Amino acid sequence: MRLSPTRFGLLLSGVLSTFAFAQETDVSSQQGFDVIYAPAMQASSELIIKNPLIATAKLTNRLIAVGSHGNIITREIDSNTWQQANVPTSVLMTSIDFESDTVGYAAGHHGVILKTTDAGDSWQRVFDGFDLLDLEIKFYQQRITELEQQIAEDGDESGDLQWALDDANFYLENAQRAKQETGPSKPLLDIKILANGNILAVGAYNTLLLSQDKGETWSLISDRLDNPNGFHLNAIASYNNTVFIAGEAGTAYASQDNGESWRSVAPPYDGSLFGAHFDNQGRLWTYGLRGNIFVSDDLGARYDNVESPADANLMSGYGDSNGTQWIVGNSGVILEISPELEVTEHTHPSSAVFGDMVEFNGEKVLTSRSGIYYWPAKSTDSETAEKGLE
């Protein structure tokens, strides 16, 4: 995903050479930035499930997966065939969430956010990296004005305000340059609809976006987080009114009021966290580099370290109706964690880099760098040939 380890950089590293954290392109206008505005290319049903796929959303009777080149695919509960949606962008889509069986949102690289009102058959772009740059420019202009006024009124004996002012000018110049010359490059890495209907999206360099009107308008609220180093925000989990953000370098944040206020709740570990979820008891699970797993009963005030035999990076997980947790990651790793916190490690025969796992129509469906897989792994001749595993 970026220059140092994060969730999707590790997921795609060495696999998608065409996807870099910043895709270098000379651009002087929004119309010239083709990857944002070019529709996803249509492909056969055989090819769309072999392309890199990152995340899933499960509706009552439909499963949806998102991935590379704007590829969004759907499968009905009574069918084994995947269909490709109409998508107005070609960027890598990293995340997806639905507020109902018809209305949902997906986010991806270059700041793109999409919305659907027909259960994922077609999508409309409601936000992109140029909109994000506009928000950043406005944000830093206001920040500079506030700091200059504070320095003039109160002085700055320690030099901290001047340091903050220099930083704000630096970030403003970067945003203005990107707006006029290089174009947007920041990826969004997760999107989540909260219990009150608000939508949060997180991404690189402490990007935190909020919409309170179903995606019509967006606000940049990154200053609500205590993240002076600008560490990347990798994943969002929510349960009732509580929200958790997992980030880079052991950073994490929790809110108990649907994102209005936040506190830092870093785990006892300074590595990056790539995923998080709440189980059906409201316990928080978060995981990341080198198989590290933590569980918390109090939204990160205290954590228990879950001993795991896996050393692979862990990306995503969920809790099933029996209280068992399933967490997936690199090298085909699938972890099954009992309610008693006993961990069983499984290895998928594909050794794929998994981005997500979901239960659908009685089977576990996985997204990966090489498309759709299942657990337990299917071993029919047709699937073996389909996946190129012969």
pLDDT bin (cut points 50, 70, 90) of residue 191 is very high
Mean pLDDT of 40-44: 95
pLDDT bin (cut points 50, 70, 90) of residue 287 is very high
Domains contained in the chain, number = 2
DSSP secondary structure, 123-136, as one string? -EEEE-HHHHHHHH
**What pLDDT, on a 0 to 100 scale, did the predictor assign at position 22?**
31
**CA torsion through residues 39, 43, 45, 47, sign:** negative
Q: For a pLDDT cut of 90, what percent of the chain falls above it? A: 85
Mean pLDDT of 24-40: 66
Q: What is the pTM of this model?
A: 0.90
| 290 and 142 assigned to the same domain | no
Predicted confidence (pLDDT) per residue in 308-357, tens digit: 999 999 999 999 999 999 999 999 999 999 999 999 999 999 999 999 99
Residue span of the structural domain in which 205 resides: 7-131+184-386
**What pLDDT, on a 0 to 100 scale, did the predictor assign at position 12?**
45
Which parts of 42-128 are beta strand (E)?
A: 53-58, 62-67, 72-76, 82-84, 93-98, 104-108, 113-116, 124-127
**What pLDDT, on a 0 to 100 scale, did the predictor assign at position 144?**
97
Among candidate residues 165, 182, 199, the one where a domain is terminated: 182
| 350 and 254 assigned to the same domain | yes
Report the run of H or E that residue 172 belongs to, with start and end. helix 160-177
Residue 138 in domain:
yes
| 282 and 324 assigned to the same domain | yes
| 148 and 247 assigned to the same domain | no
**What pLDDT, on a 0 to 100 scale, did the predictor assign at position 155?**
86
- CA–CA separation, 335 and 381 (whole Å): 26
Average of per-residue pLDDT values in the chain: 90
DSSP secondary structure, 13-49, as one string? TTT-TT--SS-----SSGGG-HHHHSPPPP--HHHHT
The domain that holds 248 is classified in CATH as 2.130.10.10
Contacting residues for 342 by C-beta, under 8 A, at least 6 apart = none
Report the chain's terminal Cα–Cα distance, integer Å.
Answer: 30
Residue 31 pLDDT greater than 70, yes or no: no
pLDDT bin (cut points 50, 70, 90) of residue 157 is confident
